Structure 1
Amino acid sequence: MPGRTQRKFTDSLGKQPLADFKVGVDNAIFSVDTSQNRLLVLLVMRHQEPFLNYWGLPGTLVRQGESLEDAAYRILAEKIKVKNLYLEQLYTFGGPNRDPRESVDSFGVRYLSVSYFALVRFEEAELIADGVSGIAWYPVKDLPQLAFDHSDILAYGHRRLKNKLEYSPVAFEVLPELFTLSDLYQLYATVLGDNFADYSNFRARLLKLGFLSDTKVKVSRGAGRPATLYRFDAEAFAPFKDKPLVFI
């Protein structure tokens, strides 16, 4: 019976000692290379055990008196210089034995990872390589074997990023203040993949929704016709907040 099973499970846990935890923060930092239609993630090479010489997500243990969010921003600031970014807490990964140090730690310390995901503009994200011999953008579709459970964290972050684009203005937080519809389309298409709407449908639906302001300014890029620059109108977007955008 369900009640009896629940009591048995509770009793078995009650005999176990309380876990002692160390808390880390790992960042899945994504960027969109629109020139080559690639979704990228920032990886760093580990220079110590465990997983010596493996690539992994930028991470750190949380310092005394430091909030989780402050630790996440510290990692960002140590790895890249960027003006526009979006950062959000993702998930807590805390399964037993997710970190090999647990099996050799005589005090039985468990290692939690509170993960965050970030989106930055590839064109303006400057990598900070001081004292670091391994830091690089990798295409999400072509990743090396990652340390710890970072492949799971990355996959979870990728799914969240896709979902976020469907109901939030996250794309406009990493675009410049003025942008073309082509700029916006390339960002969506790169993150969401081949099944995304074609450009003409995307353009027609987006303009009909009414949260983009036409600046009446045009910009020339290449041999094509000049493109109109738009600005995101947060107030006009408010009615669409937390609702799937139909053009997705």
Structure 2
Amino acid sequence: MPGRNSKLPERSLNQQSLADFKVGVDNVIFSVDTAQNRLLVLLVMRQQQPFINSWSLPGTLVRQGESLEDAAYRIMSEKIRVNNLYLEQLYTFGGPKRDPREDCDSYGVRYLSVSYFALVRFEEAELIADGVTGIAWYPVKDVPLLAFDHNEILTYGHRRLKNKLEYSPVAFDVLPDMFTLNDLYQLYTTVLGENFSDYSNFRSRLLKLGFLSDTGVKVSRGAGRPASLYRFDADAFAPFKNKPLVFI
């Protein structure tokens, strides 16, 4: 066992140089098509090397003087028009060789990806196709092999989205101001899977929690009985913040 004053091996900067980084932002933009019960992610077709003509997450390199969040919002605004969205930083992906351009750069530049994930209202989201030959919503379960490590980023984002539904009111950021309990249930089942809770238990537990207020307005959809429209009460939800919801 080394003595107390033993020195650990040291490497000088000449032996192991510091990495030089370029920083990019990649967005995992989710939406829920409740009409067809599909969780969707926005993909774009790359127009340049590397991975030309491959699907990828919308991304960009960060510009001089630009914050990471500003870059994330910029790439969102270039691909999609939407009024209501939920956006937060996801994770930093920076493993060696995650980007083929590292091998082409004589200076050994590494490419970091600071990823963000967003959740937007499907009915209100307008895709921007100006100068883009490929941009589309893809069902998450049918996503092809993506450029770079974007399948890994997508998987991480999907896991975060599921976790957010368990302890945050993120679902209400993308629902209309007034919604039925079935609208809410369809959103949860689309993201979490149909086995997370049956509707009767979901409805009973949710109403007992007390953070939904009945507007007194009813809406008719199909041949069934009119359904009540509810609003989300943020103040009433405060005691449940950061706590797993029991009906999940």
TM-score relative to the length of structure 1: 0.95
Partner of 2:122: 122
Residue of structure 2 in register with 1:137 after alignment: 137
Q: Distance in 2 between matches of 1:129 and 1:224?
A: 40
- After TM superposition, the structure 1 = structure 2 runs for residues 74-93 of structure 1, keeping only pairs within 5 Å, are 74-93=74-93
CA distance 1:233–1:47, change in 2 (3 Å) = same
1-structure distance, mates of 2:181, 2:140:
24
CA contact (8 A) 1:84 1:175 kept: no
Distance of 1:185 and 1:12 partners within structure 2:
57
Closer/same/farther in 2, CA of residues 144 and 2 from structure 1, 3 Å limit? farther
Contact 1:98-1:148 at 8 Å conserved across structures: yes
Matching residue's letter, 1:33: D
Q: Report the equivalent of 2:180.
A: 180
Aligned-partner Cα distance in 1 for 2:8–2:227: 66
State the alpha-carbon separation in 2 of the partners of residues 238 and 31 from structure 1: 25
1:178 is paired with a residue whose SS is coil
CA distance in 2, matches of 1:122, 1:171: 13
Moved more, 217-226 or 151-160: 217-226
| Structure 2: distance between partners of 1:25 and 1:53 | 20
Matched residue pairs, number?
245
**Stretches (4+) displaced over 6 A:** 1-4
1:196 is aligned to: 196
Query: Counterparts in 2 of 1:46-85, with a 5 A limit?
Result: 46-85=46-85
* 1:149 alignment counterpart: 149
Identity level (%): 83
Instruction: Identify unmatched segments of 5+ residues in structure 2.
Output: none
Partner residue, 2:113 = 113
CA distance in 2, matches of 1:186, 1:20: 46
Contact 1:92–1:112 (Cα < 8 Å) also in 2: yes
Distance in 2, matches of 1:113 and 1:164, equals: 22
More helix by percentage: 1
Q: How far does the alpha carbon of each residue in 1:153-192 deviate from its partner, in whole angstroms, 9 at most, with x for none?
A: 0000000000000000000111111111111100000000
| Aligned mates of 2:55, 2:188 — CA distance in 1 | 27
CA gap 1:3/1:203 in 2 versus in 1, 3 angstroms: farther
> Any stretches of 5+ residues in structure 1 without a counterpart?
none
Query: In 2, are the aligned partners of 1:27 and 1:57 still within 8 Å (CA)?
Result: yes
Alpha-carbon offset, residue 194 of structure 1: 2.7
Q: Could you tell me how far 1:76 is from its partner in structure 2?
A: 0.8
